[in-house]
Homo-oligomer: A and B are copies of this chain.
Amino acid sequence: MTASRTARERVRAELTKEIADIARRQLATEGAGGLSLRAVAREMGMVSSAIYRYFPSRDDLLTALIIDGYNAIGECVERADAATDRGDHLGRWLAVCHAVRDWALANPHEYALLYGSPVPGYQAPMDTVEAAIRDTVVFGRILSDANEAGALDPPGIAPAPPPSLAEDAALVRSLMPGISDLGVFRAINAWTGLFGWVSFELFGQFNNTLDNRRTAFEHCMLNNAALMGLGIPEAAR
Contacts and interface: CB of A to CB of B under 8 A. Distances in A.
Interface in A75-110: 109
B117 A185 contact: no
Interface in A138-166: 155, 157-162, 164-165
A13 B34 CA distance: 33
Contacts of A188: 210, 216, 220
Interface stretch (A16-24, A49-57, A222-230): A222-230
Contact of A168 (B129, B132, B158, B210): B210
Nearest to A220: B189
B220 A120 contact: no
B117 A112 contact: yes
B168 A212 contact: yes
Tell me how many chains of this kind the complex includes: 2
Contact of A119 (B33, B158, B167, B212): B33
Given A32-B117, A203-B117, A219 B165 contact: yes
A164 B204 contact: no
Interface stretch (A2-10, A37-45, A190-198): A190-198
Contact of A215 (B155, B157, B165, B215): B165
A212 B167 contact: yes
A127 interface: no
B197 A192 contact: yes
27 contacts: A31-B121, A32-B117, A33-B121, A34-B120, A109-B120, A115-B199, A116-B116, A118-B203, A124-B204, A132-B207, A157-B157, A158-B223, A159-B222, A159-B236, A161-B216, A167-B212, A168-B210, A171-B209, A172-B209, A192-B193, A192-B196, A192-B197, A193-B196, A196-B196, A196-B197, A196-B199, A199-B199
Interface of A: 30-34, 109, 112-113, 115-121, 124, 129, 132, 155, 157-162, 164-165, 167-168, 171-172, 185-186, 188-189, 192-197, 199-200, 203-205, 207, 209-212, 215-216, 219-220, 222-224, 226-227, 232, 236-237
